[in-house]
Structure 1
């Protein structure tokens, strides 16, 4: 009966779209609030912005200090046409549930909620208060968690357990997230006279090849933390086929294991870009547009 109830809870979470952007977590937050209330657990919605909320709840313990169980209620985007199973149904086949967020991380959120329900049903009074913190906007800026920190909700927290999918392996740290734009500025011209313009896709392409080779030589693996990773996630350039592109932009996603590697990554982008810009007589600039420390 408990397994069936837990499966139905996870299905209910999956069936509510909370794809970020835009998030729209208010609907799933209200679903969670009603589920907890049905099981005699009071909760509060903590607004982030219009249509977006996080959820806070507590199982009172013998001490005011708490252990916080934390998970996010938004998911990454989905192209339903690319799925072989329904993305927002919670279909169960051969003992597995399929759906956007089943792993990351509505499964973890369901585990948090059901653990709290079982504590309540069985009349267990924990030594420390157990706080549930279910956050909005994890996938696109962590603003929900920051909003809770700024609101003082973690002031009495001794430990936080985050139920991200980890193959049941305990993780004690996380790589930092560093996003950089590498921007090349040239000169536009008509496609019939490319010699009049300066095409920025050419230096941009060389930048991609060059930085990939340099990355392998610069970053070394740490025996405990692993290796800083680099992903070239986007290459933008050109307006239409008959115009010489005067701007190109490469977006890089570094997952850094240290502040030192963050500085290495920025220097790698800058040095590579400036050398190539000089070669092709274009202007180069780098821009950090997202950073969360390791």
Structure 2
């Protein structure tokens, strides 16, 4: 255990009546505390959050270990003994993406609780989920309850970048801590989506896979010169044209087995067919239900960063950019070949991060157990298989043979845009939704 005080820092946030209430739930308080610890990545500040988490686990009678992969970059792992040595890995990340306070209605690192929600960066992605896990484990300690099997807890750094200091580091240097883990659960699954026109039915997507990641740095090289003279070979123009070609490309629809299973399940829930020949239009028509497959039916490559030049009257010799590429299982080569064609022969690329498209068994008994836990707590739940459009730390753990599911159960107000909360402004999570998640996890694991 680290020797420093794990308590979060004091802030100048305003205190609401709800925050002062003695009835405020433990999971909301933990979520608020974690948000108040700024773990913005880049920035490398997970150590203080790791110490806070380790302190909560120690209070629950566990023996957490803190692993610092680099100065300030820390991971926490603990094992909860269960009735079977076969283990389940429950993992999540401590870091968050940046947030500009000037754009937010409530300060993104205040952790303020108002209007029934915990506000701040990480409320959804994914300090709220970590809080549910911590509250469930601490509840077991108070009640003297053991999980049905060993539960390995991992709170990780650096997921919002490449995972080099988090899951990647732990898999490379401490894989023995995850021995016996036959499955894993983490973020981006198990949340409620209201069915259009049916207030009594909620879809709960449980992730059984995710798209692969291909982050690329692209470079155009030309001839440097004076900005007032005709350009011989303008690198900025060459890169700009390539980026526009990437942005404008229409990727073909590729229906993978897992996404096909999702669409079949959604058709059954909706009581109407989904036209497989018009999936993009159907995704728009179905709104938030359609968002469950809109990004998962094709590869993508989005220009995200540009960098060139150092003075307005100098034509630079090089121009650089970054592209966020994502590929469906089995379609990595199609992505890369298409990107190369669109970039053209005078723009080169190199990988910033290349990781696969992991999947978990489906159908499978454990998938059914997750679904049963949701239905037990919400009789209106209709769980369905799901593929995540982005990536998670499941990519690292799949390398050591631990398949990962997206299951961070959350009951949402129908007016909240769950996908819009990820990396968005005014991120927040309902307190009642967090409490629901604790009950579902408790039911699943014990």
- Structure 2 residue 343 is matched with structure 1 residue 273: yes
| SS of the residue 2:57 aligns to | helix
- Structure 2 residue 239 is matched with structure 1 residue 204: yes
Alignment partners' CA distance in 1, 2:318 and 2:236 = 8
> Could you tell me which of 28, 31, 45 is aligned with 2:66?
45
In the other structure, the counterpart of 2:253 is 220
> Could you tell me which of 150, 154, 157 is aligned with 1:136?
157
Number of residue equivalences: 283
Compute the TM-score of the two structures, normalised by the length of structure 1. Answer: 0.89
Alignment partners' CA distance in 1, 2:148 and 2:191 = 28
- Structure 2 residue 101 is matched with structure 1 residue 31: no
In the other structure, the counterpart of 1:230 is 301
> Could you tell me which of 162, 170, 176 is aligned with 1:148?
170
| SS of the residue 1:170 aligns to | strand
Mapped contact 2:242–2:344 kept (Cα < 8 A): no
Give the strand-richer structure, 1 or 2.
1
Aligned CA distance change for structure 1 residues 273 and 240 (closer, same or farther; 3 Å): same
Mapped contact 1:108–1:165 kept (Cα < 8 A): no
Aligned CA distance change for structure 1 residues 255 and 183 (closer, same or farther; 3 Å): same
> Could you tell me which of 8, 14, 17 is aligned with 2:38?
17
Alignment partners' CA distance in 2, 1:123 and 1:88 = 34
Give the superposition deviation at 1:3. 5.0
Give the superposition deviation at 1:47. 2.0
Give the superposition deviation at 1:70. 0.9
In the other structure, the counterpart of 1:4 is 25
Deviations 1:162-215 (A, max 9, x none): 1346624311111111012221110011122234x42122222221222333x3
Mapped contact 2:87–2:151 kept (Cα < 8 A): yes
In the other structure, the counterpart of 2:125 is 104
Alignment partners' CA distance in 1, 2:234 and 2:109 = 44
In the other structure, the counterpart of 2:186 is 162
Give 5+ residue unaligned stretches, structure 2.
1-21, 193-204, 260-295, 358-446
Alignment partners' CA distance in 1, 2:299 and 2:343 = 20
In the other structure, the counterpart of 1:262 is 332
Alignment partners' CA distance in 2, 1:12 and 1:127 = 29
Give 5+ residue unaligned stretches, structure 1.
278-283
Q: Which has the higher contact order (CA 8 A, sep 6+)?
A: 2
In the other structure, the counterpart of 1:293 is 356
Mapped contact 2:246–2:301 kept (Cα < 8 A): no
